[in-house]
Amino acid sequence: MATRLAPVRHSTGQQVSTGRAPSQWWRTAVVYQVYLRSFADSNGDGIGDLAGLRSRLPYLAWLGVDALWINPHYPSGGADGGYDIVDYRAVDPDYGSVADLEALVADARKLGLRVVLDVVPNHTSDRHPWFQAALADPDSPEAARYHFAPPSEQPPNNWQSLFGGPAWSRTPDGRWYLHLFAPEQPDLNWRDPAVAADFERTLRFWLDRGVSGFRVDVAYGLFKDAGLRNNPGVYAPTLFGHGPEQAMTWNQPEVHDVWRRWRAICDEYPDTMLVGEVCLADLDQVALYSRPDEMHQSLSFRLLKSAWDPEPFAEAVRSALDAFGQVGAPVSWVLGNHDKDRQVTRFGGGAVGTARARAAALLMLALPGSAYVYAGDELGLPQAHVPDEARLDPIFLRSGGARAGRDGCRIPMPWNDSTGVGFSPAGAADPWLPVPADWDRYAVSRQTRDGGSMLTLYRRALALRAAHPALGGGEATVSIRGDVLTVRCTGAEQTVQCLVNMGSETTLIPWSGSVLLASSTSVRASAGSIALPPDTAVWLTEE
């Protein structure tokens, strides 16, 4: 049965109803990515959980986001941060129960927040009952749902795992099986209809519980070259930006029919949406996943990869607007997530990195489309140092420590600066990843009291975005003058410009409008001009 949502606040400040006309809330939504294991621990086991997240929903409403996307909450083998799923229609006991998820969705709705889940269709856990049955019997129907090859000296082809090393491992009886990620994540064979049917059940299971859609993991995967032919040449893939060197592994044309079927299911549930993770180098190919009858949007990772320089940023913005514009989809901007080093660190660390992350936030939140904010980025968390013995990421483990991996951007949230960091209740077990000793300085409680904090900046920016449809909802044009990147956002009634000085000198800009928001207190406005210091952004209204 389709569950109807109460009206929720649109990020442009309008009320949207869930009547017949679809609200398309996702077009301009600010979606907050919750790394569940690290968000809030309610029961003191050192692991974030659904009840903890539920208790912090008022924070998200106060912050001013429209929706939350929760990283995988399913029972998991624990080999890849929950992306190795054992049961798609259940909640991992570490996180609570299905009833907890329903309670979360209900509370979120009362606060005007939508809940989006993560779904992982490219692979299961090796502990999934299907894979276990396939291991036990090569002739079982379950074996046909994965990619097995008979025992032989060499793996069937040259495909590489995105986590390093060959994409084929052996079963105890000597067969090969395919895993484009960790060996604990066997790839599903989407040419078997039982696979598609089961995922359709999973979608309905959660949609019937009132969720507002799904972030689709590895949406450019699922189907592989039918002949499992070699990829051309030698290659060593990483998580982002796959090109022709991996032509046989990803982006097979058949996958688009899956998204058409999933879209049709979502269309039965008012106001739900699919957002795809499509890590292809060619943005025009990425955009094809968001054609009107496929997923509603695909995450755009260009800003996440851009060096601090006006050219790459301008190019990132222009190319995404162009590519998604061709198919009529909004751009879904991403500055940080659970797979990348934290922005503050990427942009240079310390005061400089923080200033740039503040400026980048204003840029992203001005751009037309939806914006994905990774939990902790609103606090300006840096990439944490994680001692080797505490690291869990398969990227670190499979590379023998040569690649640091992603643990440092997945550290528990610092909520409180008076009793520990307030991630867990007093007397709790150690957090599942160690929290650096000085992280009370980033705590929510401290930043809430500080008018100049990153948190205060995000909150102000989100409130202004909700009040000014030109921000997030306008048409953008991008230009560069010297070291200053300008995005001119034109809404129906107003134009707001976002200027970012990416150089090392203060720049004087002729201006006669007013300053809506600045990422630094050292911006000086006088009659007719604005002095914009390095690593600083402003939102300006035109007279």
- Give the footprint of ligand GLC on residues 499-538 (CB under 6 A): none
Residue 239 touching ligand GLC (CB under 6 A): yes
* Strands (DSSP E) found in 226-301: 273-276, 297-300
Minimum separation from the CB atom of position 337 to ligand GLC (A)? 7
Can you tell me the distance from the alpha carbon of 331 to that of 367, in angstroms, rounded to the nearest whole number? 9
Minimum separation from the CB atom of position 332 to ligand GLC (A)? 14
- Give the footprint of ligand GLC on residues 340-379 (CB under 6 A): none
Q: Return the number of the residue (215 or 263) whose C-beta is nearest ligand GLC.
A: 215
Q: Return the number of the residue (271 or 339) whose C-beta is nearest ligand GLC.
A: 339
Residue 218 touching ligand GLC (CB under 6 A): yes
User: 20: which residues sit within 8 A by CB, 6+ positions away?
Assistant: none
Considering only the stretches 33-41, 79-87, 419-427, 430-438, report the one whose residues sit in contact with ligand GLC under the rule CB under 6 A.
79-87
Q: Tell me, what amino acid is at 303? A: L
Can you tell me the distance from the alpha carbon of 341 to that of 428, in angstroms, rounded to the nearest whole number? 28
Q: Return the number of the residue (68 or 500) whose C-beta is nearest ligand GLC.
A: 68
User: 325: which residues sit within 8 A by CB, 6+ positions away?
Assistant: none
Minimum separation from the CB atom of position 541 to ligand GLC (A)? 37
Minimum separation from the CB atom of position 240 to ligand GLC (A)? 8
Considering CB under 6 A, how many residues would be counted as binding ligand GLC?
A: 11
Residue 181 touching ligand GLC (CB under 6 A): yes
Q: Where are the alpha helices (DSSP H) in 422-516?
A: 444-448, 454-467, 470-473
Can you tell me the distance from the alpha carbon of 291 to that of 328, in angstroms, rounded to the nearest whole number? 7
Can you tell me the distance from the alpha carbon of 294 to that of 286, in angstroms, rounded to the nearest whole number? 12
Q: Which of 74, 83, 301, 396 binds ligand GLC (CB under 6 A)?
A: 83
Binding mask 275-304 toward ligand GLC (x if CB under 6 A, else -) reads: --x---------------------------
Catalytic residue among 267, 268, 284, 293: 268
Q: Return the number of the residue (47 or 119) whose C-beta is nearest ligand GLC.
A: 119
Q: In a 3-state reduction of DSSP, which class is residue 335?
A: coil
Considering only the stretches 14-22, 50-58, 77-85, 127-135, report the one whose residues sit in contact with ligand GLC under the rule CB under 6 A.
77-85
Q: Which of 285, 298, 277 is nearest to 217 (CA)?
A: 277
User: 494: which residues sit within 8 A by CB, 6+ positions away?
Assistant: 468, 469, 470, 541, 542
**Beta 370-374 vs 514-518: how paired, if at all?**
unpaired
Q: Return the number of the residue (181 or 199) whose C-beta is nearest ligand GLC.
A: 181
- Give the footprint of ligand GLC on residues 449-508 (CB under 6 A): none
Q: Return the number of the residue (410 or 468) whose C-beta is nearest ligand GLC.
A: 410
Considering only the stretches 25-33, 78-86, 229-237, 365-373, report the one whose residues sit in contact with ligand GLC under the rule CB under 6 A.
78-86
Considering only the stretches 76-84, 249-257, 309-317, 430-438, report the one whose residues sit in contact with ligand GLC under the rule CB under 6 A.
76-84
State yes or no: is 118 an active-site residue. Answer: no
**Token output for 353:** 């990195």
Q: Say which DSSP state 212 is in.
A: -
Considering only the stretches 75-83, 309-317, 351-359, 486-494, report the one whose residues sit in contact with ligand GLC under the rule CB under 6 A.
75-83
Minimum separation from the CB atom of position 181 to ligand GLC (A)? 5
Catalytic residue among 84, 142, 217, 440: 217
Minimum separation from the CB atom of position 83 to ligand GLC (A)? 3
Residue recorded with tokens 């995005």: 487
Burial class (CB in 10 A: 0-12, 13-18, 19+), 413: buried
The residue whose Cβ lies closest to ligand GLC is 83
Minimum separation from the CB atom of position 501 to ligand GLC (A)? 32
Q: Return the number of the residue (114 or 179) whose C-beta is nearest ligand GLC.
A: 179
Residue 339 touching ligand GLC (CB under 6 A): yes
Residue 80 touching ligand GLC (CB under 6 A): yes
User: Alpha carbon 403 to chain centroid distance?
Assistant: 21
Q: Return the number of the residue (96 or 121) whose C-beta is nearest ligand GLC.
A: 121
Minimum separation from the CB atom of position 419 to ligand GLC (A)? 31
As beta bridge partners, residue 276 has 216, 298
Q: Return the number of the residue (56 or 340) whose C-beta is nearest ligand GLC.
A: 340
Residue 120 touching ligand GLC (CB under 6 A): yes
Q: Say which DSSP state 197 is in.
A: H
* Beta carbons of 274 and 265 less than 8 angstroms apart: no
Minimum separation from the CB atom of position 164 to ligand GLC (A)? 12
Sheet holding 524-526, edge to edge: 507-510, 529-532, 524-526
Can you tell me the distance from the alpha carbon of 393 to that of 126, in angstroms, rounded to the nearest whole number? 17
**Crossing angle of helices 255-267/193-207, nearest 10°?**
30
State yes or no: is 268 an active-site residue. Answer: yes
Can you tell me the distance from the alpha carbon of 41 to that of 432, in angstroms, rounded to the nearest whole number? 10
Main-chain dihedrals φ then ψ at residue 26, nearest 5 degrees: -65, -20
Q: Return the number of the residue (66 or 84) whose C-beta is nearest ligand GLC.
A: 84
Minimum separation from the CB atom of position 322 to ligand GLC (A)? 25
Q: Hey, what long-range contacts does 277-280 have (CB within 8 A, 24 or more apart)?
A: 277/215, 277/216, 277/217, 277/218, 277/219, 277/220, 278/219, 278/220, 279/218, 279/220, 279/239, 279/240, 279/241, 279/242, 280/220, 280/241, 280/242, 280/243, 280/250, 280/251
Which residues are at the interface with ligand GLC (CB under 6 A)?
Answer: 80-81, 83, 120, 181, 217-218, 239, 277, 338-339
Catalytic residues: 217, 268
